[in-house]
Structure 1
Amino acid sequence: MIKRLKYDEIDFVKYQKSLSEACQLSDFARKDFLNIVAGKNWGLLIYKDYEAVMPIAWSSNFGIKIIQMPALCHQLGIFSKVDDPEVNLSFFEFLKKNFAISFYAFNKDNGFPVDTQKKKSYLLPKNNYEDVKKKYHIHRRRNVRHTEDIQTNAEFNNKIDFNTHVEDFFLQNVRGIDKMPLKKVYWNTVMKLIETGLMETFTVKYKGNIQSFVAMYCGEETDYLSMFINSSQLENKNLPSIAIDYQLQKCIEEKSFDFMGSNVPSVASFNERFGAKEYFFSIISHQKLNIISKIIKLVFTKNR
């Protein structure tokens, strides 16, 4: 019922047709996006003749493939004309049975007939900016005011000169990524997405110094806050709020805005104060010990 296809085996005409007819948002499943963030280290699980498709990506360690989400890829999952929880479960079980999985995120429109691990994100549906702003928490409305200080000292740069200074700010202040080689992978990925028109960025300077770096992945119906990097020594504590408000003024009437979620309470609170509503999507997440155990089991089964 479920079949695995390597990258070179994919019929990309059929794949694109499946995505274009899908009832789920497929922004992160696009071939051009996945080619940038995963190279050819991705493939497909398909149901029947591309009636439903599920892109998967992996990293290779000592020749062993481990399923994980590529850099800046928020959600993948199953794409089909009608979301069928039973078919989704077949994909879910096939993935768990046949692969060692570090982390895989389904999309928010995938339903399952069983309980699954969940992760949350925050979404602002598209609307008139003034109506969106009315739903800000009272403290957030106060935070985003352009005071005389902000008008005098803050500078928003939509056309960034990607010189060493900007890259240094990125590498020094990006959080959640410990190792420098991985930080550079993210930086290079951002640069490639910008070059292909899939990502827009801007910086916020204060008194001539970069304080915030914002990178938005441009989906068809939604913009995604892919990277939001603030200085570890902010000179004005309101600048992160002002940066997001600045982006919402530009996009919220045309597209929804996805904060791309966080389980960190302070980040969740930051998102909620813009009036964003939480939503949940299914994931598979395993610790290193479980991954090693699964690899041993797969190798043993293969060699029997």
Structure 2
Amino acid sequence: MPVIRFIPYEEIDKTRWDNAIRSSSNSLIYAESSYLDAMADRWDALISDEYQLLMPICSREKFGIRYIYQPAFIQQLGIFGQDQNISAYTHSFLEAIPGTYRLVETTLNAANVVQDLPNGWQVQYRNNFLRSLNNGYRTTRQGYDAYLRQRVNRAGRQGLEYRDSQDIGFAIKAYRDLYRLRIPDFSDRDFTQFGLLCGRLQESGRLVIRQAVDKTNGEVYALILLLKDDRRLYNMISCIWPEGKKKGANYFLFDQVMREFSGNPLSLDFEGSDVPGIAYFYEKFSDKKEIYPFIRLNRLPWPLRILKP
């Protein structure tokens, strides 16, 4: 088994880190150093074999207690590497997490199959949906079932227009205003940091914002904010307004995204969901369901252990 070392943030070689993440068999944008810098209060890492295997550890400290948490706007983290059998190392990496972290609540990624958890660990499984865009749009459209084709066709008759946007602030504010009750744990800082991250990604051509608008008056009925790496388009923000729901603007918008990006070596990552209605919508458009683990370990001192079961 590889020798796994805990490396504090200050000693991480970010160039080597990012090269390793991007060349890993299960690369995800969330694990890039600039993404972690933006969204995590602090991150350190478990690293083995000269950056062959890596696991970012995002942490906070409260009342003198250090704990590992899941930052906002990050769906999956866990172990990354070029080895095709990464799940073989899951147990070893979890055991290597320092005992100074008294609580762990975080996700792994879909390549980190959990088969044999160390003592005290708990796991839940979450859903994500993907659509390969490798083929042309015609092939993609042929994969729609009858219900989805009907909804897309109906939305296409509602006087909607597919439009590019560069307005990050509008997208984030809309998401926050429409869904604040769904994301109560997202702080002001989270939204500010995500906005700054989006701005940097926009400058490097790695951000896409698209809208479904009224052809006549330009009213926005639905929008999507996507982040991009070499393998995926990530559905980070998806908004639909009440009038947009009546017109099926979300069906129109996602179909148009498929049309625009089909024929590229990418997958559209819908970013979940486990919410039944949202999951139903994303699953209709997807051609692959992936499962990823959410893991938990509670070694808080008594009585905090009881208060945080």
Q: Is the 8 A contact 2:39 2:193 kept in 1?
A: no
**Alpha-carbon distance between aligned partners in 1 of 2:225 and 2:103, rounded to the nearest angstrom:** 28
Q: Is the 8 A contact 1:108 1:282 kept in 2?
A: yes
**Alpha-carbon distance between aligned partners in 2 of 1:106 and 1:167, rounded to the nearest angstrom:** 26
Q: Could you tell me which residue of structure 1 aligns to residue 120 of structure 2?
A: none
Deviation at 1:173, TM superposition (A): 0.5
Q: Could you tell me which residue of structure 2 aligns to residue 15 of structure 1?
A: 17
Gaps of 5+ in 1: 300-304
- Return closer, same or farther for 1:211/1:100 CA change in 2, 3 Å cut-off: farther
Q: Could you tell me which residue of structure 1 aligns to residue 187 of structure 2?
A: 182
Residue 214 in structure 1 maps to residue 231 in structure 2: no
- Return closer, same or farther for 1:161/1:22 CA change in 2, 3 Å cut-off: closer
Q: Could you tell me which residue of structure 2 aligns to residue 277 of structure 1?
A: 288
Q: Could you tell me which residue of structure 2 aligns to residue 245 of structure 1?
A: 255
Aligned-residue identity in percent: 21
Structure 1, residues 105-147: CA drift from partner, whole Å, max 9, x if none?
2121223442653211111122221111111121211212266
**Alpha-carbon distance between aligned partners in 1 of 2:191 and 2:233, rounded to the nearest angstrom:** 18
Give SS of 1:145's match: helix
Q: Is the 8 A contact 2:158 2:247 kept in 1?
A: no
Residue 156 in structure 1 maps to residue 162 in structure 2: yes
Q: Could you tell me which residue of structure 1 aligns to residue 146 of structure 2?
A: 138
AA paired with 2:164?
Answer: N
Q: CA RMSD in A?
A: 2.9
Gaps of 5+ in 2: 118-122, 305-309
Give SS of 2:92's match: helix
- Return closer, same or farther for 1:113/1:20 CA change in 2, 3 Å cut-off: same
Give SS of 2:234's match: strand
Q: TM-score if structure 2 supplies the norm length? A: 0.81
Give SS of 1:144's match: helix
Mapping for residues 80-159 of structure 1, pairs under 5 Å: 80-82=81-83, 83-95=85-97, 97-101=99-103, 103-114=105-116, 116-126=123-133, 127-145=135-153, 149-151=157-159, 154-159=160-165
Q: Is the 8 A contact 1:108 1:279 kept in 2?
A: yes
**Alpha-carbon distance between aligned partners in 2 of 1:272 and 1:125, rounded to the nearest angstrom:** 13
Mapping for residues 35-46 of structure 1, pairs under 5 Å: 35-38=37-40, 41-46=42-47
AA paired with 2:137?
Answer: Y
Residue 264 in structure 1 maps to residue 264 in structure 2: no
**Alpha-carbon distance between aligned partners in 2 of 1:150 and 1:128, rounded to the nearest angstrom:** 25
Structure 1, residues 223-265: CA drift from partner, whole Å, max 9, x if none?
1111112224546241111111111111232111111111122
Deviation at 1:162, TM superposition (A): 5.3
**Alpha-carbon distance between aligned partners in 1 of 2:191 and 2:61, rounded to the nearest angstrom:** 18
